[in-house]
Structure 1
Amino acid sequence: MIEAPVRPALLDQIAAIVGAKGLTTDPTDLAPWLTDWRGRYHGAAIAMVAPANAAELSAVVSLAASTRTPIVPQGGNSGMVGGATPDATGTALLLSTRRMNAIRAIDPQARTVVAEAGVVLQTLHEAVAAQGLRFPLTLGGKGSATVGGLVSTNAGGTQVLRHGTMRALVEGIEAVLPDGSLYEGLVTLKKDNRGYDLKHLLIGAEGTLGIVTAATLKLVPALVDRAVVWAGVESPLAARQLLLMLEARAGREMEGFEIVPQRCLTNVLRHIPGTRAPLGAPCPWHVLVEFARDTADAPAPEAFAQALMAEAFERGLVLDAAISASESQAEAFWKLRDSISEAERAEGPAMQHDISVPVAAMAQFIIDAGAAVEARFDGTEVAAFGHMGDGNVHFHVAAPRGADPARWPNDPGKEISAFVHDLVVAAGGSISAEHGIGQMKRDELARLSDPARMGAMHAIKRALDPQGIMNPGKLVAG
């Protein structure tokens, strides 16, 4: 690890702002936060600064701006694209939002919650559940992902089909801008036509335009009950036909629809303790469907699911199916889906792509792109899974057995990713669906985007962050 340069005067000024609890310089304490979750990116930093509130964060950013010191914001450090890892120069401050973890207010009447950037998603779920409400976004990393990170990457998760991404769930934002000024936009307004929408610029900006300090989030009623179905299907095309049937029959009662190949399920059962196969025998592909109701007068999910699965069997869309008989079984089904990335990582090196294509094209894309990659790169194996209702494919390309885990992600891994991204663009899709661009996809974004898009993004970056101190090297170069 590169040693960060010592800047005593700067550190003394920061310590005066955040106190002893808010400043970390010991290399051993810093080390876990200088590597991304996947272990692909490693950096160095002058120190890790952890403000306790927005005022402290504002003062730190003002100081950084006056000294032209780069800042790398970090929440739960659970990102997938190296977006919260500093570079190796050791010139940046790593700014952690984890101490800013207050839930400031829950309004049951307005169905909103104001949560600070460091609030962990699972903590948020528990807090609003105590008020008979629900924040309708969840994902496998809910025990570490923070509100600030979710906003800054426009996270999606497994319930986008009904409730949308973070962009649809954020009602207001408070943020510190690159000059240290505090943007106070937490009040929710149904109509606000005062020009440029800074809220939507900050959502998905990955900390390159400012640091989210708090957000007003939309809530929905707590679930009365739910039923989760794990079904085996013959192919992605059969899964697509099942989705169309369920969309026509289930309407808003269907919250999620995930597709999983047998390869992914096998890896989960092999590597994740406490998991078990949901069906009696392997199937080529699987789907995970959740039906839920949040009012007592809506159809009972279990009976609803049974009737729909009976129809799916009659139409030849399903090979086998299991319907959760309890909440613990529903959670067990979701654990299989949520553990795929962890199991894939344990299985060995792979190039993991978070992409999206038009919803109607997703099934055929999975088939055609998977075949094209395996034909071109000998010994690789594709595992494509994800949110079939919104076109988001997690497209993993596993290395051949015996591949060097240190070398393979670069050679031929980068060539594989470029090939996959070319296929995505040809299909009219996006190279990032929900994990962001970070540093991993920055060059590919520039290579594959039209000049108008990149020109506008660079112009926005220069206008709001003229010194280029906010999360440098992420999303856009320069």
Structure 2
Amino acid sequence: MLSLTRLNRVRSMDAVNDTMIVEAGDTLLQAREQARAEGRVFPLQIGSQGSCQIGGNPSTNAGGTTVVRYGNMRDLVLGVEVVLPDGDVWDGLRALRKDNTGYDLKHLFIGGEGTLGIVTAAVLKLFPKPRSVTTAFLGFRSPDSALAFFTLLRQRVGQDVAAFELISSTALDLVLAHLATARSPLSLRAPWYVLVELASSRTPEDLENDFHEVMQEGLEDGSILDAAVAAAEAHAMAFWRIREEISDAQTRAGGSVRCDISVPLSKIPAFIEEACASVLKIAPDSRMVIYGHVGDGNVHFNPLRPVFESAADYLQRTSTAITTSVDAIAMAMNGSISAEHGVGVAKRDELLHVKSRVELEMAWRLKQAFDPKNLMNPGKFLPRLECVEALKS
């Protein structure tokens, strides 16, 4: 076991270069607050920001709700400091946006889940604080209509779309049932909801006018069933709390099969339709808890046990079949079986079915070159070498 909690300093802040060097034990929330104190934004935003640490964010290539505008952690890190398996320390803390001097080695450790080395510090990209923010909670008839609105919104306001989160009605109901203080932002019930946030350097009036114009088109053509726009920061925080509490509500309910997939944006409605049909054949009374970062193609597809069945019975009866089916549908659409939650142990052996032999062999060559004694996070991330070699036959 290795804890980097005490390695938690901000080593430097460069507001002109829009970078900060942060040690691995600093929490994401602390790093965001430290950037905010300098009038800057570090945009990575995930539900565990109060406990997850900066070292783990690049190691898992963390994503979250703002990937649609800012990208994953891979896009937000300029350099890393890493302790290698043999004890050497690589100082790759270069705060450069252009550096074509050979292999970009930092990307071996970003998303590597600690299997090649331990990230002890990172150079994080910062951004100017937005001049204006608009947050809204919208009701839609279907994922198709939500995706059409997203496309139109991007055409009108471009990169001002900072988040676009799809929420099924079942997911909203689950939050309302398990969070006593939560209230639906809309007076009408809709089959699907979207939490959208725009952030811009333009004036609040300009941003709001553009958004209201696009929203009005959606209301007039019937794709948007109802809408609520946050009039104050407290309203926006209430909208976001609903989204952020979905995972905890599932945990409280128990018996959720959690599938973290991504597909091309154009395939999202088809994926949801096919995956729902497949799950309901396996377990007809499942509750379809579906939500996620639709603006970047990431859907958390988490069928939940029926109210009359225990969590243990439901998971034992359906978990393997549901996961296999949902992952197969995602892969058939050129998707991924793990969009942002990583591989670890749970998805490790599934890679034998979704990755090519050549790709897995290259990964093992890297592992053996950096860590020949298999000291770093052994048993995680990569299927056993003998299983990979067996693919040749």
1:232 aligned residue: 139
Mapped pair 1:205 → 2:112 = yes
Pick closer, same or farther for the CA change 1:299–1:113 going to 2, 3 Å.
Answer: farther
**Equivalent position of 2:62 in the other structure:** 155
Q: What is aligned with 1:71?
A: none
Q: Which has the larger radius of gyration?
A: 1
Q: Is the contact between residue 99 and residue 118 of structure 1 (CA under 8 Å) also seen in structure 2?
A: yes
Q: Residue 331 of structure 2: SS of its match in structure 1?
A: helix
Task: Give the 3-state SS of the residue equivalent to 1:278 in structure 2.
Answer: coil
| Deviation larger for 375-384 or 400-409 | 400-409
Give the match for residue 318 of structure 1.
Answer: 224
Query: Is contact 1:421-1:431 (8 Å) kept?
Result: yes
The answer as to 2:380 corresponding to 1:465 is no
- The corresponding residue for 1:453 is 359
Q: Conserved in 2, the CA contact under 8 Å of 1:106 and 1:114?
A: yes
Equivalent in 149, 168, 190 of residue 261 of structure 1: 168
Aligned 1:321-336 pairs, distance under 5 A: 321-336=227-242
SS at match of 1:417: helix
For residues 121-171 of structure 1, give each alpha carbon's deviation from its aligned partner in whole angstroms, at most 9, with x where no partner exists.
Answer: 111111111110000110111111111111111111111111111011001
8 Å CA contact 1:117, 1:214 repeated in 2: yes
Q: Tell me if structure 1 keeps the 8 A contact 2:287–2:304.
A: yes
**Separation (CA, whole Å) in 2 of partners of 1:442 and 1:411:** 22
1:96 aligned partner, one-letter code: S
Aligned match of 1:430: 336
Q: Deviations over 1:294-314 (max 9, x none)?
A: x35576433332222112112
Distance in 2 between the 1:301 and 1:262 partners? Answer: 28
Greater shift, 395-404 or 114-123, is seen at: 395-404
1:340-385 Cα shifts (integer Å, max 9, x gaps): 1001111221110111011110122112211111123333232221
Query: Quick one: distance in 2 between partners of 1:192 and 1:223?
Result: 28
- Cα distance 1:299–1:453, how it changes in 2: closer, same or farther (>3 A)? farther
Q: Amino acid of the residue matched to residue 23 of structure 2?
A: E
Taking only aligned residues, the RMSD between alpha carbons, in angstroms, comes to 1.5
1:230-379 alignment runs, 5 A limit: 230-293=137-200, 295-296=201-202, 300-379=206-285
* Conserved 8 A contact 2:170-2:287: no
Say if 2:278 and 2:326, in contact at 8 Å, map to a contact too: no
Which letter maps to 1:399?
A: R
Percent identity, aligned pairs only, is 42
The 3 A distance-change label for structure 1 pair 370 and 168 is same
Question: What corresponds to 2:38 in structure 1?
Answer: 131
Indicate the residue corresponding to 1:185 in structure 2. Answer: 92
2:25 to 118, 141, 147: 118
Aligned residue pair count: 384
3-state SS of 1:277 partner: coil
Q: Once the two structures are superposed, what CA deviation does each residue of 1:203-252 show, in whole Å capped at 9, x if it has no partner?
A: 00000110100000000011222111100000111111111111111112
CA distances 1:244-284 after superposition (whole Å, capped 9, x unpaired): 11111111211111110010011111112422110012110
CA distance in structure 2 between the aligned counterparts of 1:301 and 1:349, rounded to whole angstroms: 42
- With structure 2 as the length reference, what TM-score do the two structures score? 0.94
Q: CA deviation at 1:473?
A: 1.2
Aligned partner of 2:311 in structure 1 is: 405
Query: Is the 2:141–2:225 Cα contact (8 Å) retained in structure 1?
Result: yes
User: Which residue is 1:391 aligned to?
Assistant: 297
The residue type paired with residue 120 of structure 1 is T
CA pair 238-470 structure 1, distance change in 2 beyond 3 A: same
